[in-house]
Amino acid sequence: MKPENQRALDDFLSRADEISEDILEDTREMLGSMPFIFPVLKERPEYFALSGLADEMVCRPPHIPAKTAELIAIAAAAGAGAESCLRVHIRAAMKEGANRDEIYDTILIASLIGKTRVLAPALREFRSAFPDATGSSRKT
């Protein structure tokens, strides 16, 4: 690493405790709650300052409105089966102005993709096992 970049990094990491506290405050403000993992990760402030800052930037990208970002987070959490994240991001989406129907539709879209994730490979294997089938199992 170039010496000037190492100095900048060292300066950043020397303030990791203070930066970590700011990230926790910003997270609470942004989401309206505190994810369980953040205070635990803060036990390693140098890691948390770097990781938490990156997470904060990803959660509020400059080209997507906050409400949309939260709806995306809901879909991702639903698809990953991350119930605690789902709970946090549903509340955060509501805080950003998402209504019940928007959140519900987001969950339905996530479930559609989840269903497809199961069906697509299973049906490919099914079709491979029965290559001569016409697509219908009914006899007419």
Instruction: Give the model confidence (pLDDT) of 54-112 as tens digits.
Output: 999 999 999 999 999 999 999 999 999 999 999 999 999 999 999 999 999 999 999 99
The two tokens of residue 119 are 């069906």
Q: For the residues 20-49, what does the mean pLDDT come to?
A: 94
* CA-based nearest residue to 32, from 57, 66, 61, 64: 66
Query: Is pTM beyond 0.85 here?
Result: no
Query: What residue spans define the domains of the chain?
Result: 1-59, 63-129
Q: Which CATH superfamily is domain 63-129 in?
A: AhpD-like (1.20.1290.10)
How does DSSP assign 27-77, residue by residue? HHHHHSS--THHHHHTTSHHHHHHHHHHHHHHHS-TTS-HHHHHHHHHHHH
